[in-house]
Amino acid sequence: MNQKQNKPLHLSHAGPKLLDMPLLNKSSAFSEKERLAFNLEGLLPPRYETIDQQRERAYMQYQACTTDMAKHIFLRDIQDTNETLFFRLITEHIKEMMPIIYTPTVGEACEKFSDIYRSARGLFIAHHQQDRIDTILHNATKRNIKVIVVTDGERILGLGDQGVGGMGIPIGKLSLYTVCGGISPANTLPIMLDVGTNNPALLEDPMYMGCRHPRISQAEYDVFVDKFMQAVRRRWPKALIQFEDFAQTNATPILDRYRDSYCCFNDDIQGTAAVAVATLLAACKVKGVAASTQPLVIVGGGSAGCGIAAQWVRSIQAEGLSEEAARAKVYVIDRDGLITTRATNLQGFQQAVAQDLADFDGWNGDYAPGLLEVINSVKPGILLGVSSCAGLFSEEVVKAMHQHTAQPVILPLSNPSRCVEATPEDIYTWTKGEAIVACGSPFADVELNGRTLPVSQCNNSYIFPGIGLAVVSCKARRVTNNMLMASSLALAEASPLAIHGKGALLPPLSGIKLLSVEIAKRVAMAAIADGVAPVRSEEEIQMCIEATQWQPEYREYRRVAS
């Protein structure tokens, strides 16, 4: 616990008002002295409990929930009642509960957001309120905001437009900033930008809680987002802004527009790329090969796939390849086939990954080669999916990968789990257990021919909490490419399979908080090198991180006059 958390907290709130404040409520853990001082006598059962006694009861109640959605609702209710207890419970059971508060269950929670809605969390800013954004930001129940996660709900996981239901993603992400990164929940804020929805089912749903109209025009949208960004700068000029689940038509343009003037990043583009590249680098270490020798096929030509391609190009350039040579080793396949320079409908971010078919013998004409044809032609060492197309990595595709390389690296990263390109069990079966596999959603380890084959979850939660911790603790002004690459390298170096020759490809979630600290140190050093952070030494970084770390433990309260 940092020194600030050891000190008593002086409050003027009392009585039922104090019990209704999730950040301050201790429920049955209020001491006798506190109950007298804060007018709580009679409002609570007479027993005085520790937070661990509360946690035991909460976990017993959690286990009584019969479905993942029921567990999600139960945990969210605790979060909206007693945040310290919520984070203590999650911290103690992180491996079991992360899939409940985050992927894959959060996807279903977004789909059912209006049906399961109980209480408000964060801020909802609708387009028709664009001239009152400053006032809305001042309505936030938290004052010292350091990390904001914002979405417009248009591309939630692999589920598409969920409108206002997309708010479940910022809430879940920020929970992980606290659980994994140690950032106080008092410093975090989820925000939903409601610009309508093009999901007809939501527009016709009488329970839908968002604005009941189609999404606004692009011109209106751009003005609205810019007003929001300017208002955030006025209210919290040093806050880190994480863009989450914006559609590919907006994700990259928004990032490009603000990345050099705001402290911001896009987790779907940059966070996904950082964790994917870390996983691929770890896999190359396991294989004992240089990353630059492994052609990479990415299936999914959206902002996530192209973001991974860009990060991978930078990583293999570090091994001595020119940018042109590095790009020649990355093949991105979209719904129409391989992205090539002959395509006439490419978006700006796709142009950098387009391959020239003239460079390949036997590929001519106007058609774009498909997945199997690309695999058989370029003989890649790595196949990665961010397509949201369930089953796309068929037996024929996986066996083709195995035919061309003895130890193929296959990463079906689409989530939730029902959107995965292939299950780990199928991949291991079709490659006789010789593939290196990681998935975007959690899957159980696979038993095959007497062997237990671990399945790592290639999850952004390995990356963004550490980046956020570095930015917040060391007061970085920007998030640079070098900072993102530092996070990838730090995670790759922590691979149990690469270090010990056994175990999982990625570290266990049980140690993610310590790992986030190590990642934060590396990211902060990169920030210093790039001149975007005021700290100057590793010792100062260590001190800043320790001072930032929040623990889910109750503080002593002392009453002051209002």
Report yes or no: 442 and 457 within 8 Å, Cβ to Cβ: yes
Report yes or no: 87 and 552 within 8 Å, Cβ to Cβ: yes
Q: What is the Cα–Cα distance from 317 to 325, expressed in whole angstroms?
A: 8
Phi, psi of 361 (to 5 degrees): -65, 135
Report yes or no: 209 and 192 within 8 Å, Cβ to Cβ: no
Q: Which amino acid type is present at position 281?
A: L
Q: What is the Cα–Cα distance from 22 to 556, expressed in whole angstroms?
A: 16
Structure tokens given for 119: 């209480």
Q: What is the Cα–Cα distance from 496 to 525, expressed in whole angstroms?
A: 24
Among the options 62, 71, 102, 208, which is catalytic? 102
The 10 Å Cβ neighbour count of residue 59 is 15
Sign of CA dihedral 336, 299, 440, 316: negative
The 10 Å Cβ neighbour count of residue 3 is 8
Name which of 442, 388, 440, 441 is nearest 248 in CA terms.
388
Q: What is the Cα–Cα distance from 278 to 274, expressed in whole angstroms?
A: 6
The 10 Å Cβ neighbour count of residue 547 is 11
Is 367 a known active-site residue? no
Cα 61 to Cα 65, 87, 102, 296: the distances in Å are: 7, 16, 20, 46
Phi, psi of 150 (to 5 degrees): -125, 140
CA end-to-end span of the chain: 28
Name which of 531, 532, 506 is nearest 519 in CA terms.
506
The 10 Å Cβ neighbour count of residue 144 is 9
- Tokens 């279903």, residue located: 108
Give the length of the chain: 562
Is 173 a known active-site residue? yes
Name which of 427, 418, 421 is nearest 400 in CA terms.
427
Name which of 245, 241, 125 is nearest 193 in CA terms.
125
Q: What is the Cα–Cα distance from 131 to 321, expressed in whole angstroms?
A: 50
Q: Which residues contact 351 (CB under 8 A, 6 or more apart)?
A: none
Among the options 26, 71, 146, 173, which is catalytic? 173
Beta 147-151 vs 456-457: how paired, if at all? unpaired
Q: Catalytic residue positions? A: 102, 173
